[in-house]
A and B are shown apart, each in its own frame.
Chain A
Amino acid sequence: DVKVTQSSRYLVKRTGEKVFLECVQDMDHENMFWYRQDPGLGLRLIYFSYDVKMKEKGDIPEGYSVSREKKERFSLILESASTNQTSMYLCASTFGIEQYFGPGTRLTVT
């Protein structure tokens, strides 16, 4: 079974803090993704990576950056957290069409 894990299920941070969200997959997948899910807006793609050290912007990359130093790990960074980044963050990985998701991190920025 594919396993995608995320470092925290719940996180509370203050405005202006730097926030790291970590994602690890154990299936040697090349492609990894970060989404955020908000009520009424569905899943929106923030960034994705198709190889180590490679990254591509998704639909809403502003305020975020990513890092992929190893194939199994994809990190999402909020350089200076803001209240409008309060959301559920979902990581996914894929080799083919189907994406496997982690359990999500509920981030609250106060």
Chain B
Amino acid sequence: DQQVKQNSPSLSVQEGRISILNCDYTNSMFDYFLWYKKYPAEGPTFLISISSIKDKNEDGRFTVFLNKSAKHLSLHIVPSQPGDSAVYFCAAVYSGYALNFGKGTSLLVTP
């Protein structure tokens, strides 16, 4: 049973606008959440993470918000750039190292 869900398989956004990628989870034991970005024919690269004790973490154009009561997190990219076009995976971890991944959301940023 999938514990981390990304319900939008794809998203298209205009360059310069905000991209919002969403993720839901079911296991309240997760203590960290991570976002990875993946280009075709490459391995995923780490983007940003958030501890379960925080509700926001920001790194440049990327901000992750965590709503524990709703078991929901989101990744905001502002402003979106064409180079951000990739598949984004949400992941959650508990017991130290066992990552659970969502199925991914393919983001397309159009000029």
Contacts and interface: CB of A to CB of B under 8 A. Distances in A.
A74 interface: no
Contacts of A43: 44, 89, 101
Contacts of B103: 40-42
Interface stretch (B53-61, B66-74, B92-100): B92-100
Category for how many chain A residues contact B: 20 to 34
Interface stretch (A11-19, A64-72, A78-86, A100-108): A100-108
Contact of A101 (B9, B45, B102): B45
A8 interface: no
A101 B46 CA distance: 9
B43 interface: yes
Interface residues of B, number: 21
A33 B109 CA distance: 31
A102 B43 contact: yes
- Interface centre among B32, B41, B43, B102, by most A CB within 10 Å? B43
A98 B97 CA distance: 9
A102 B45 CA distance: 9
Contact of B46 (A33, A100, A104): A100
B99 A45 contact: yes
Interface string B69-111: 0000000000000000000010001000111011110000000
B34 interface: yes
B22 interface: no
B86 to A, nearest CB: 13
Interface of A: 4, 9, 31, 33, 35, 40-45, 48, 50, 90, 92, 94, 97-104, 106
In order of increasing CB-CB distance, the 9 nearest A-B pairs are A101-B43, A42-B103, A43-B101, A42-B101, A97-B32, A101-B44, A31-B97, A98-B46, A103-B43
